[in-house]
Structures are given as C-alpha cells and as structure tokens.
Amino acid sequence: MAIQRPKGTQDLLPGVVEQWQGLEEQIRKICKEYGYQEIRTPMFEATELFQRGVGETTDIVNKEMYTFLDKGDRSITLRPEGTASVCRAYVENKLYGGPQPVKLYYIGPMFRYERPQSGRFRQFHQFGVEVLGADKPMVDAEVITLVWDLYSRLGLKGLEVHVNSVGCPTCRPEHKQKLQEFLEPHKEELCKDCQSRFEKNPLRILDCKNPTCQEITQGAPTTLDVLCEDCAGHFAELKSLLTAAEVVYKVNPRLVRGLDYYRKTAFEVLVEDIGAQSAICGGGRYDGLVQEVGGPQTPGIGFAMGMERVLAALKLSKEHEDEDAKEFLMLVALGEKAQSEGFAIISRLRKKGLPVSIDLLGRSLKAQLKAADRVQAKYAAILGEEEINKGIIILRDLKLGEQEELSLKDFEEQVLKQYKEDGN
C-alpha cells in the first residue's frame, strides 16, 4: 500500500504555492511599512512553555498539543501557536534591554491535534504580529488596523471586526464571582469541559461552542459590566481610535478568545462564506505573559491569522491565478544547436530577473507550444537551426497569436525592454 500523507496535512503543489507566495509577499510588504521585523522561532519547544504561557485550562493544552519525550527524556511539544514562543525569545535574548516597543511578526507552521475541517489542518500556518513593551490603546489600534489594512489590500469582502475588553486582574475577580453565581443553578447541565472550567476559569465558558452551554450563558454577566476605571478608559480610547482609522468594528461582549493569557483588549476578524468557523484572525492584549514565562513585567499585544483560512476566503479569481503563475517567456528550441544556443539565452535572461523557461524534453514544435500554454507563458520565442543561420528568432504573443522576427543579436535587450513595459 502506498504511503499517504498524515491526516490533517496537505501537499502544496505548483499552482497553489504561488498563491501562498503572493499572500506572503503582501504580508511582508505591509509589515515593513508598519515597522515590524520578522522573527523565526523553533517549531518545537519545552512543553512547560505552553502549559504556563497558553494556560492549562485551554483546549490547546488539554486536548490538542503534539507532545512527546525526546531521547533525553525531556517533554517536547510542537508549537501550537506563536505568541508564547515569541515571548520566550524576547526574554531569552534580552530584547527587553533594547529600544521599546519591540514590533515583531512571524510566518510559519503550527501543530494542533484537532478534527480537520474547512480551512483547518493539524499542520497549519499562521501569520502573526506581536508588540512588546507598550501598553497604550494606540498600540492595540495599530495592530487591529494593520490586519484590517492587509485584508482590504487583498480585496476581502464581508469583513467584521469584533472587539471586547476582558478586563484585568483588578476587575476580573468580580466578574468571575458574578458569572459563577449566574451559572451555579445550571452547573450540572454544562458540558464536561465547562464544568471543569467553572472553578478555574469560568470566563472560558462564554467561548464554548456547545449549543446547551451557549443557551445557558444567554444573558450572563459580561466583563463590560464590571470593568475597572483603567480598563474602561483603555477600551473607550481604543474604540475612538478605530473610528478615527475608519475600521468598521462591532462590540461583542461575549468575545473572550480561547487562551488564558488575554487581558483588556480581545478581538477577532470574521468573514462570510468560509464554513461554520468564520474567524480568520484573532488576538488581544497579554500584559502578564512575558512575566509568566520568566521575564520582567512587560505589556504585549498581538494577533494570529490562519493562512489556509485567508486563502480560502480570498477565493482567488482566475485572473489572479494567472497573474501569479504566469511565466513571461518560454524558449522553444528545435534541434541540438538551437537547444544549446537557447539554453545560453535563457541563462542570461534569468540572471537579469526574467521568469523564463526552456523545453527540457526535446519535444516537437507543436508539443512545446502546448507546454508554453500550460505554464501560461505570455510569449514563446521560437529558435531552430534555420533561424540561427539567418541570425533571427521568432517572438510569438501567445494570447494574441501574433508573431514577429527579431534580430538574435538584439533579442535579449528587446525582451528585457518588453518585460519592463508590461509592468514587471
């Protein structure tokens, strides 16, 4: 039996990879404009990092982590999310000793053992940003504006930004007490997960997707009912800044996010028509996380977005696919002498940055032109021994079906000029 890829993973093949590259290019461009620098952390960490950082009451830690003992009998976990690793790197490399805030972004694979569904995989990819060392509402607004700006540039439609404040250690105990009092009469009706959350972190019950739990929590006290003066002021200023930046948002008092480390701001970006799970980005403030993983008291905020879900939401049009996958030119060489000369030509063109190719199978003229169509080349340059003897090469526009004879001596210069004129 042929070996197959593990469940919940995928092979990204040519034609699809170009879509990923296009998204990554847009991400890197906007991060540079906003002043964020890339960080790359290991794909596995000490299990304790996620137990302490993500939180032992979360589904990620309780159910979804890929954890194993290595040959040194150390507990290792494939990273299920990026924030804890970034905070660990911030502490270990003493980034807190440099200019603040530190503005970072990452792109890479994450791993969670969960039921694969639309846009979700056991190995999936996230783009995320983290800002460490700044606690003002303007930082929260910038982070949300960055992702809103990115999605707008990508052309995503039907977007909604949901925001909430989940309080802080000053005001959250009052909410915890009120929520427990509200839920106490229905405690036995809650799902097993929420029953275990009741004492440790009842706020997470509001995030449960179980229909019974959702019905029970209708009308439950929200964090907005008990915010302290500091949290209330922070949230009010955030909303004002988002309005000034023309970000369309909705206050969602039930939004608590699925991780224990959030404080004050929590937010999600939702999009239509990608299945039951419509969130394509989520994040919030985590002012106690750096301290939790062994560093100094440091405010932080960030978000993560699933690359697979964003690409599913984009529903790339055929035009977009063509633009990403198209080669500029394919050199059609007929005969050994033409193949040798053609290979030298495309080698020089490639050194000048042009996306060009040459037939590697020695096929007929008709077969090579079909191959040029398959790779969506804009032009075919036809070269045979007869053309070499005449000192010419035939340039065919594959879309218009028109062709012209060019001097072989001037061909490369003219092709380079045409490439620039075509807007490349």
Who has greater pLDDT, 9 or 318?
A: 9
Task: State the pairing for strand pair 159-165/263-271.
Answer: antiparallel
**Confidence (pLDDT) at 424:** 62
Q: Residue 271 pLDDT > 90, yes or no?
A: no
Task: Read off the pLDDT of residues 10-50 as tens digits, 9 standing for 90 and up.
Answer: 999 988 898 899 999 999 999 999 999 999 999 999 999 99
d(CA 301, CA 259): 13
**Confidence (pLDDT) at 60:** 78
d(CA 388, CA 343): 14
Strand partners, 162: 250, 268
**Confidence (pLDDT) at 320:** 43
Who has greater pLDDT, 197 or 306?
A: 306
* Per-residue tokens: 419: 């490439």
Q: Nearest CA to 48 among 274, 292, 273?
A: 292
* Per-residue tokens: 88: 């660990």
**Confidence (pLDDT) at 158:** 78
d(CA 123, CA 105): 19
Q: Residue 1 pLDDT > 80, yes or no?
A: no
**Confidence (pLDDT) at 262:** 84
Contact 70, 64 (CB under 8 A): no
**Confidence (pLDDT) at 111:** 95
d(CA 285, CA 302): 7
Q: Residue 325 pLDDT > 70, yes or no?
A: no
HSE at residue 167, side-chain half, CA atoms within 13 A, is 19
d(CA 33, CA 23): 16
Q: Residue 356 pLDDT > 70, yes or no?
A: yes
**Confidence (pLDDT) at 396:** 93
HSE at residue 54, side-chain half, CA atoms within 13 A, is 25
Task: Read off the pLDDT of residues 154-193 as tens digits, 9 standing for 90 and up.
Answer: 988 778 899 999 999 899 889 889 989 999 998 889 898 8
d(CA 142, CA 380): 47
Enter the pTM of the model.
Answer: 0.79
d(CA 122, CA 27): 23
Strand partners, 251: 163
Mean pLDDT across the chain = 88
205-214, 347-356, 409-418: lowest mean pLDDT where?
Answer: 205-214
